[in-house]
Amino acid sequence: MKRLGFYGVRFLVVLLLALAVYNNSGRATGEGGGSGGGSGSGAGTTWTLRIPGFNELSSVTYGNGLFVAVGGSYSSSTIHISSNGATWTEQTSPTSNYLNGVTYGNGLFVAVGYGGAILTSRDGVNWTERTSPTDNSLSGVAYGNGTFVAVGLDAILTSRDGVRWTKRTSPTSEWLKGVAYGNGTFVAVGWNGTILTSPDGMSWTEQASPTSDDFNGVTYGNGTFVAVGKDGTILTSP
């Protein structure tokens, strides 16, 4: 009995200490939100898990006051929307194909996925499946210079309105996994270190790559393209 009492006291002490640490950390992150002086007070430093349990989500974008996240499972697609990033609502998808990418441009959300799936929506709620010129998987989509560009397995597609799509000639047979637009240029990246560039989304040029690692995504900001991929690979240009 004495031994049980001793361990019971130890457990109680550990529990109280844990609660104290939790409460202190909660106050630390909650105070000074408007001062800008505390570490963790800014966006991107403190994160909150929101409603776990969805199907896998692969891409998210923001436009017209709305966040749109897409993904799915092996037999279905998933679309969720949120006005604040905290509360999410699942929407009806017109396709059972997994969705890999989503973007927003010219007042339109465009999502792409397996089987060449292309969906569009003006409001994030009502989605329409568009005719695709490919049955191959589409991995990413971007908007720039009045043009949507979708890339994937042996596929580069373009559209001015998100409705009518045209397949373009690709200088590579590698699987393109991501695409971005910036500084007047589209950049697409893919397996085996593939890097393609285009001024208009229609004519593409393969660029020399310093790595043969697979790329998974690319983005543009602050005058720089950043591509990321296998084994922690990160490339920048310029």
Distance of alpha carbon 202 from alpha carbon 166, whole angstroms: 9
Whether pLDDT at 108 is above 90: yes
Distance of alpha carbon 99 from alpha carbon 21, whole angstroms: 41
Supply the pLDDT for residue 55: 84
Tell the residue number behind the tokens 């923001």, with chain if given.
62
Confidence category of residue 54, pLDDT binned at 50, 70, 90: low
Whether pLDDT at 14 is above 80: no
Distance of alpha carbon 105 from alpha carbon 124, whole angstroms: 13
Supply the pLDDT for residue 41: 57
β-bridge mates for residue 103, sequence order: 110
Mean pLDDT of the residues in the chain: 86
Pick the range with the lowest mean pLDDT from 4-13, 94-103, 223-232. Answer: 4-13
Q: What digits encode the pLDDT tens for the residues 189-203?
A: 999 999 999 999 999
Task: Enumerate domains of the chain plus CATH numbers.
Answer: 50-168 (2.120.10.80), 180-238 (no CATH)
Q: What angle do CA 221, 227, 230 make, to 5 degrees?
A: 150
Confidence category of residue 4, pLDDT binned at 50, 70, 90: very low
Contact 183, 198 (CB under 8 A): no
Q: What digits encode the pLDDT tens for the residues 143-163?
A: 999 999 999 999 999 999 999
Which of the two residues, 42 and 35, has the higher pLDDT score?
A: 42
Distance of alpha carbon 23 from alpha carbon 173, whole angstroms: 55
Supply the pLDDT for residue 150: 99
Rounded to an integer, the average pLDDT of 113-134 is 98
